[in-house]
Structure 1
Amino acid sequence: MKSLLRYALLFSLVAAGSANAQQALEEIIVTTKRGSANVQDIAGSIGVLTGDTLEAMGAQDFEDIARTVVGLDVINRAVGDNTIVIRGVNADGESGATILWDNMPTSGSGEDTSDLGRRQFDLDVYDVEQVEVLRGPRGTLLGSNSLAGAVRFVTRKPDLEAFDAGFTTQVDSTSGGDGGMNVKGFLNLPVSDSIGFRLAAYTREVGGFIDAVPFENKHPNAANLSSPNGEKIGLSGSNINGWDRSGFRLSMSALLSDNTDLLLQYFSQDTTARAGAVDRPYAGAFGPPPCGGCKKAADGVGLISKSGNDLTDETLDMF
């Protein structure tokens, strides 16, 4: 009886191991090497979040992704002012991590040699097929800004076979603060068997919850302090740290031949922070903010032409 029990237990463990192995071998295709390949066939450390995963976790921006991917961090100083860090590697000046939307780079420029790659635009994570995080230097393929690695957002492309559309809305409120709202929608429009368009648009308002104490009443030398542009520093009001973001992304796909297709993309986003980074104590009060009504804009144009067959795959990128 004991021998039979041991065999039964061994069989159950083997069966469970086979089931887990089949589940772990699910195929994930990544495109960060200028071509499509199974993630298990690539010699490198890569993290992938699929579109279904992003929707399930309610991802809105880069911070949501950084909380999930090992080795990826983001330093958020204010709305639209991020520093992306991969594996703890960072350097003075321009960012050491390349951020790509499809094949369009949007890496932060920094302001000076001690700025550590700031000014990284935080585009809305909507209508995204998957996010690919490459850990480690990628300078040969992606340029000098990829010293630490790269993050690539693969957007959903036009579907030439079927019309599709959808939208989501969200309204929220904050106790002691302002309310907010989030509206997003997409439209997929095939014009013919060879040409199609896809539009994704979004707008988001985040209510503030910080009340500003008048700076002049708290700092002993407030009368002699001024901002870099010469204006006197001072800000008061309620719920001053709210911000809003709106933008869209337009793609056109054209099938030129059996092995050649053309993809044109344009994206635009405007972000307005009504009081910038105000959540730092100074002289016993909140203030002074670096700006009142900071506005950041991001625009990009991409042209991607792909041609090839079962043996070759060549890609030409223009920005």
Structure 2
Amino acid sequence: MKRGTRAFLCAGVAALAISASARAQQAPDAGSPTAAPADSADMLAEIVVTAQKRTERLIDVPQSVSAVSAEALQQAHADRLDDFFTRVPSAALVETQAGQARLILRGINTGGVGATVATYVDETPYGSATSLANGAILTPDLDPSDLERVEVLRGPQGTLYGANSLGGLVKYVTVAPSTDAVHAAAELSTEDVAHGDTGWSGRASVNVPLADTLAVRASGFYRRDPGFVDDQHEKDINDGRTYGGRVSALFKPTDALSLRASVVLQNLDSNGTNQVDVDPVTLRPALGNYMQARVVDQPSDMQYRVYNLTGSYDFGPVQLLSSTSYSSLYQNALEDASGLYGGLLTGAFGVPLGASQVQQVQQRRLTEEVRLASTDTGWLEWTVGGFYTRERNAINQIIDGVDGASGAHIADFSGLALANLASRYEEYAGFASGTVHLNDQLDLTFGGRYSHNEQDAVQISSGPLAGDSDYTAHSSDGVFTYSVAPSFKPNEDTTIYVRVAKGYRPGGPNVLPPGAPDAVPHQFGADTTTNYEIGVKSELLNRKLSLELTGFYIDWDNIQLFSSVDDYGVNINGGTARSQGVEASVTMRPLTGLTVSLNGAFVDATLTSDAPPLVGGLKGDRLPYTARFSSTLAVEYQRPLSETVDGIAGFSWRYTGDRLSAFDTSYGQRHLSAYSQVDAHAGVTFGGYRIDAFVRNLTDSRGILDVGAAGSALDGNVTAAIVRPRSFGATLGYRF
């Protein structure tokens, strides 16, 4: 038996380690329910989600969904996306720097610049839908201070959520303002990282009813992330800070009408990457365990904003909902490109030179969605809607020659290459979904969506290395997606379902000069996934035991890839792939206050035809950065220590199996070893106070998350992004 298989079986194929611990109640806008406790301390909490854009019990949803509650986030000290996302079955995260992460669900990943996992903040789709604006790696990492929960929908979600949901969807659900009373909370934490320095964070929130019909909720946070990577000039170069907040207002003048406005702001400033330099073949540290060598520093500053107005009106038999959103993202990043261009520039100009590459990204997106949904629970529940989105995106890149020793800019070698890519994306879509209750036990859930988009792009380049050019491109395409899911409920606490669903990622134009070779494609098409899934969900022993088992098979066609054709960097379509596997989970409450959760996944994701030669990858090769085996074990125990003091303690163990890196024509796919992470915490609550101590990565595991291509580091080495080392911390919180 292989080592990875033994570890997986020892963990037990099982449950969502961070399943929600709050029961949600119906909310007028079907997007921000509030929490209620379980029926008794001996029972698991009932989980309610809005995965199908209506509020329903998780156990009744005929698809694979994980819900991470605010309480679970708080208990696990989950401040960052990687603290909880990798605990979800069949999920993976490839992160090199704060705010630059690629989300992967069920293995649907071949690199490239278009996202395969969609992201929503309440009713707002976030990020770019086009493959022309780095949407694959610019992922929002919202602070959990004012979240109700996070829902992760696995498998294609094209019917209700549209573009880029090839592999699934991450949906952040924020806390809604409440008119019931004044609520406030505050928290202060500190954290010390091995091999690095010390960081701290603070967050606070307040809910204020201004009248019986009006309430406002505001929150803010600041977090200084400690660094742990050194270079030849400075220690802990990858430190940074993240800060922002949210303001939301709810106006409910009548029982039928509800208006909710919200603003989310977050800034991520990082002074360096989480990468170390390694040997390109062995992946062993080339300079030291936490060392990199760079000619220039690599800071990255990101700002994202989400503005939304959601209104709903209950007409009795139907409810109308309108959601208007505007979101923006700005990134200014500096990358050391000396490994790629330093030798070329030194040879061309006869002086020792390095190279810096500045990248500035701007995304602006307006979205409108209108839905009409039935409100009764008769034989048919239905939703119909229309969707419109418009994007304006721009990527500016500048390559400068710098002093090869000090990294200082040299005026004579500034602006060696300048490129600006401006693009516009506009999409219209109509969708419908419904559930037919054929009898008390048998349901049929179905849906369809047609989406059509138009895209324009303009690229301007200049400088001695890029040449002077100015050219445009246009594309247009449409796609139909669907889902069908019959389900059978032998009793109120068990659902057995089968689901077939399709997801897509839009195609787009390649910006090429007149006279480009015929071999270079002027347009790339949409790629699609078709998912076949069977699952069972059940709550047993008077809701002391929850079980879920899912099997899936996904066909991926017309895969979008980024490549170089006749020296032109373009998006292309090539090859097919399939992903198949099993996800399983179990959560149990054997004793009062004790919750044990396990989850596990087996994912076999491979190419089913050769990728284009310039990309690399042959039929049978595994898709990048997806472990065949992964699992999580979590234990939480809470009990009274006195009449006024409660104690709480817990730990989690995450296992990530071996993976292969991205397709690489220079070195091929590199093997990344399996690794584990152990987190633990313990504390007390009394009155409104909470005091906790915690440790992350207790064993100081050094897992590799990402491997760079040839030229990503100096002296023939390559970069490797690694997990955060062991850290210890403490938290003091108060709420009323």
| SS of corresponding position for 2:221 | strand
Establish whether residue 254 from structure 1 lines up as the match of residue 260 from structure 2: no
The match for 1:104 is 124
Tell me which moved more, 305-314 or 238-247.
305-314
| SS of corresponding position for 1:53 | helix
Q: Residues 122 and 162 from structure 1, CA distance in 2 versus in 1: closer, same or farther, beyond 3 angstroms?
A: same
**2:270 paired residue among 270, 273, 285:** 273
The match for 2:51 is 32
Distance 2:196 2:270 in 1: 16
Letter in 2 for 1:93: V
Determine if contact 2:180/2:209 at 8 Å carries over to the other structure.
yes
Deviation at 1:107, TM superposition (A): 3.3
Spell out the pairing of 1:19-168 with structure 2 (5 A cutoff).
Answer: 23=43, 26-90=45-109, 92-107=112-127, 117-168=136-187
| SS of corresponding position for 1:169 | strand
Establish whether residue 317 from structure 1 lines up as the match of residue 323 from structure 2: yes
Letter in 2 for 1:28: I
Letter in 1 for 2:62: A
Letter in 1 for 2:266: Q
Given the two structures, how large is their TM-score scaled by the length of structure 2? 0.35
Deviation at 1:281, TM superposition (A): 3.9
Letter in 1 for 2:310: I
Q: Residues 61 and 175 from structure 1, CA distance in 2 versus in 1: closer, same or farther, beyond 3 angstroms?
A: closer
| SS of corresponding position for 2:253 | strand
Determine if contact 1:96/1:147 at 8 Å carries over to the other structure.
yes
Determine if contact 1:185/1:202 at 8 Å carries over to the other structure.
yes
| SS of corresponding position for 1:301 | strand
Q: Residues 168 and 286 from structure 1, CA distance in 2 versus in 1: closer, same or farther, beyond 3 angstroms?
A: same
Letter in 2 for 1:100: Y
Distance 1:310 1:57 in 2: 42
Distance 2:254 2:163 in 1: 35
Q: Residues 164 and 98 from structure 1, CA distance in 2 versus in 1: closer, same or farther, beyond 3 angstroms?
A: same
| SS of corresponding position for 2:144 | coil
Q: Residues 173 and 50 from structure 1, CA distance in 2 versus in 1: closer, same or farther, beyond 3 angstroms?
A: closer
Aligned alpha-carbon RMSD (Å): 2.4
| SS of corresponding position for 2:311 | strand
**2:199 paired residue among 180, 186, 190:** 180
Letter in 2 for 1:94: G
Quote the sequence identity (%).
23
Distance 1:315 1:199 in 2: 24
Distance 2:139 2:213 in 1: 36
Spell out the pairing of 1:192-207 with structure 2 (5 A cutoff).
Answer: 192-207=211-226
Tell me which moved more, 276-285 or 119-128.
276-285
Q: Residues 276 and 47 from structure 1, CA distance in 2 versus in 1: closer, same or farther, beyond 3 angstroms?
A: same
Distance 1:139 1:314 in 2: 22
Determine if contact 2:70/2:144 at 8 Å carries over to the other structure.
no
The match for 1:4 is none
Distance 1:98 1:267 in 2: 18
Tell me which moved more, 271-280 or 131-140.
271-280
Distance 1:276 1:109 in 2: 26
Q: Which is higher, the Rg of structure 1 or of structure 2?
A: 2
Deviations 1:86-105 (A, max 9, x none): 11113533211111111122
Deviation at 1:116, TM superposition (A): 8.0
Deviation at 1:294, TM superposition (A): 1.5
The match for 2:307 is 301
Deviations 1:214-261 (A, max 9, x none): xxxxxxxxxxxxxxxxxxxxxx21221111100101111110321120
| SS of corresponding position for 1:240 | coil
Determine if contact 2:116/2:168 at 8 Å carries over to the other structure.
yes
Distance 2:277 2:309 in 1: 42
Determine if contact 1:276/1:289 at 8 Å carries over to the other structure.
no
Q: Residues 299 and 291 from structure 1, CA distance in 2 versus in 1: closer, same or farther, beyond 3 angstroms?
A: farther
Deviation at 1:180, TM superposition (A): 0.9
Determine if contact 1:82/1:120 at 8 Å carries over to the other structure.
yes
The match for 1:286 is 292
Distance 1:121 1:159 in 2: 26
**Which has more strand, going by share of residues?**
2
Determine if contact 2:128/2:135 at 8 Å carries over to the other structure.
no
Deviation at 1:50, TM superposition (A): 1.5
| SS of corresponding position for 1:162 | coil
Tell me which moved more, 93-102 or 197-206.
93-102
| SS of corresponding position for 1:140 | helix
Q: Residues 27 and 174 from structure 1, CA distance in 2 versus in 1: closer, same or farther, beyond 3 angstroms?
A: closer
Letter in 1 for 2:324: M
Deviation at 1:44, TM superposition (A): 0.8
Deviations 1:268-312 (A, max 9, x none): 111111123443348746132885332111111111112226643
Spell out the pairing of 1:235-246 with structure 2 (5 A cutoff).
Answer: 236-246=233-243
Letter in 1 for 2:215: G
Distance 1:288 1:204 in 2: 26
Determine if contact 1:278/1:289 at 8 Å carries over to the other structure.
no
Deviation at 1:61, TM superposition (A): 1.6
The match for 1:208 is 227
Distance 1:311 1:28 in 2: 26
